[in-house]
Amino acid sequence: MLSPALCAAQNTTNFAHIGRVDRFDAGLDRLIAGDAKIEVLCGGFEWAEGPVWVPRRENKFGGYVLFSDIPHNVVMKWQEGVGASVYMKPAGYTGVADYGREPGSNGLARDARGRLVLCEHGDRRVSVVSAGGGKITLADRWNGKRLNSPNDLAIRKNGEIFFTDPIYGLPQRADDPRREIDFCGVYRLQKNGEVTLQYKEMSRPNGIGFSPDEKTLYVANSDGGDPVWRAFPVKADGDLGEPKPFFDASKDDRIPNGGGDGLKVDTRGNVFATGPGGVLVLSPEGELLGRIVTGERIANVGWGNDGSVLYLTSDMYLCRIQTKTKGAGFE
């Protein structure tokens, strides 16, 4: 594989096409055109994750995508007509000893002030990049115990952050002697810095995202033994209520059985969830409308440009596909 540093030379605008779009329901035609293609923008990464769009108004050269390469402990930047380059290294681990296979940042997001917010495996925290370029820790503990390895996050309009905390970033995962919390939780980080546990009954909570009205929080479980995406009601006080099953991959024979990873929601409430064989496109009612298939494993997705372009971190690739919808928050 190529080193991420070599990807800087990939500044073409003539992109290769891969994969296909599986159409299981006519409702998908309202979201993705029949001739839509999956474009490969750059490659050579070990495991790409967490794409987030930085809009044009914040830089004079045009918008760009930031995404994690977890094993290389780096955040990469890709810009149309420029290519890929290293944006931040180290990105998720700043220690001096080896820290296993997945030390880097994972899920990325931007807060209301446009700052980059990161889930960091190696440093076991949720952090934000300040205006001056330094990092500030937002959360690294619950009840005095160090988090496992924050994985993905969703930021509410009021500034609160909900995040998942499985064990994938720990060098020995569930059996790591550095582990201090014996479950994998879903947490709420309030603006005053308080971290509260919202749910601990999922074996491997992973991707996370709000419905457009923020009354529902979707959480994926990256466990093939329980491949269920759950929908949590958001109560008036901001805490989560008891979840309901939203989609169960084991009960649909059109796709392989397997757990989920990252997810994003569009303005209409459809959920674009990485899962078995690609990106599952789920209606607000949890019906499987179709699947975006690159032919490689897909870790996460993120909306960009005017909100209608879906970026995909697919194993060693950063890809994109044009849609007929827009991501929540791009209205």
CB 312 within 8 A of CB 321: yes
Bond into 245 cis (ω within 30): no
Question: Mean per-residue pLDDT for 233-257?
Answer: 97
- Tell whether 188 is covered by a domain: yes
CB 171 within 8 A of CB 221: no
Query: Is the per-residue pLDDT at 192 higher than 50?
Result: yes
Predicted confidence (pLDDT) per residue in 46-70, tens digit: 999 999 999 976 555 579 999 999 9
Query: Is the per-residue pLDDT at 1 higher than 60?
Result: no
pLDDT score, position 45: 97
CB 47 within 8 A of CB 102: yes
Query: Is the per-residue pLDDT at 2 higher than 70?
Result: no
Q: Is 100 left (phi over 0), alpha (psi -120 to 50) or beta?
A: left
- Tell whether 113 is covered by a domain: yes
- Tell whether 111 is covered by a domain: yes
Question: Mean per-residue pLDDT for 260-289?
Answer: 97
Query: Is the per-residue pLDDT at 13 higher than 80?
Result: no
CB 181 within 8 A of CB 195: no
Predicted confidence (pLDDT) per residue in 311-322, tens digit: 999 999 999 999
Looking at residue 208, which CATH number applies to its domain? 2.120.10.30
pLDDT score, position 58: 55
The mean pLDDT of the chain is: 94
Domain count, the chain: 1
Share of the chain above pLDDT 90, in %: 92
- Tell whether 329 is covered by a domain: no
Query: Is the per-residue pLDDT at 195 higher than 60?
Result: yes
pLDDT score, position 56: 79
| Domain membership of residue 201 as a residue range | 4-322
Model confidence band, residue 277 (pLDDT cutoffs 50, 70, 90):
confident
Question: Mean per-residue pLDDT for 247-256?
Answer: 96
Model confidence band, residue 198 (pLDDT cutoffs 50, 70, 90):
very high
Question: Mean per-residue pLDDT for 267-284?
Answer: 96
Q: Alpha carbon of 111 to those of 127, 129, 287, 289: distances in Å?
A: 11, 10, 30, 30
3-state secondary structure the chain: CCCHHHHHHCCCCCCEEECEEEECCHHHHHCCCCCCCEEEEECCCCCEEEEEEECHHHCCCCCEEEEEECCCCEEEEEECCCEEEEEECCCCCCCCCCCCCCCCEEEEEECCCCCEEEEECCCCEEEEECCCCCEEEEECEECCEECCCCCCEEECCCCCEEEEECCCCCCCHHHCCCCCCCCCEEEEECCCCCEEEEECCCCCEEEEEECCCCCEEEEEECCCCCCEEEEEEECCCCCECCCEEEEEHHHCCCCCCCCCCCEEEECCCCEEEEECCEEEEECCCCCEEEEEECCCCCCEEEEECCCCEEEEEECCEEEEEECCCCECCCC
Question: Mean per-residue pLDDT for 283-298?
Answer: 97
- Tell whether 327 is covered by a domain: no
d(C-alpha 226, C-alpha 266), whole Å: 25
Predicted confidence (pLDDT) per residue in 139-186, tens digit: 999 999 999 999 999 999 999 999 999 999 999 999 999 999 999 999
pLDDT score, position 12: 64
Query: Is the per-residue pLDDT at 23 higher than 80?
Result: yes
CB atoms within 10 A of CB 180: 15
Predicted confidence (pLDDT) per residue in 78-87, tens digit: 999 999 999 9
Query: Is the per-residue pLDDT at 8 higher than 70?
Result: no
pTM of the model: 0.95
Model confidence band, residue 10 (pLDDT cutoffs 50, 70, 90):
low
- Tell whether 303 is covered by a domain: yes
Query: Is the per-residue pLDDT at 9 higher than 80?
Result: no
Predicted confidence (pLDDT) per residue in 205-221, tens digit: 999 999 999 999 999 99
Tokens of 130: 């300040």
Question: Mean per-residue pLDDT for 112-141?
Answer: 96
Query: Is the per-residue pLDDT at 117 higher than 50?
Result: yes
CA gyration radius, the chain: 18
